Amino acid sequence: MHLYLYHKKMSKYPKDKTEEEWKVVLSEEEFRILRQQGTERPHTGTYTDHDKKGIYNCKGCDTPLFQSHQKFDSGCGWPSFDEAIEGAIEYRKDSSLGMARTEIICASCGGHLGHVFNDGPTNTGQRYCVNSVSLNFNTNIN
């Protein structure tokens, strides 16, 4: 119990959980991607070709991340967005795989979402390449 309280106090993410708590609420694949910085196989995700109107939320904590009008078809095999909802994403340098990339993380729970690249075709010039597994879709737009 004491260790749990220490973890909660030290986390910089308001909706963070312990590893054990995450394993209870996430599937094995969701845990691998959101908590262990995994990647789903290209062209396999639920939201890759999804074009409904609504909000894409973090699968880990339900924080709104992207609006449907920010989504575009990049042909890369993962859902792509040209910008995120302000304040929803944290950015971190990622030099894994021998290349310089920018990892995108949910600012509320610290969940890994994917990466952002500066090769987007819209006026923002951004391509947020996101794992479908790290998202939930909500058609309720207020």
Q: Among all residues, which ones are annotated catalytic?
A: 129
* Residue 97 DSSP code: G
The strand order across the sheet containing 55-58 reads 64-67, 55-58, 135-138
Amino acid occupying residue 92: R
Q: How far apart are CA 139 and CA 142, in angstroms?
A: 10
Tokens of 142: 């207020």
Class of residue 12 by CB neighbours under 10 A (exposed 0-12, middle 13-18, buried 19+): exposed
Tokens of 52: 């409904």
Q: Is the separation of the CB atoms in 76 and 47 below 8 Å?
A: no
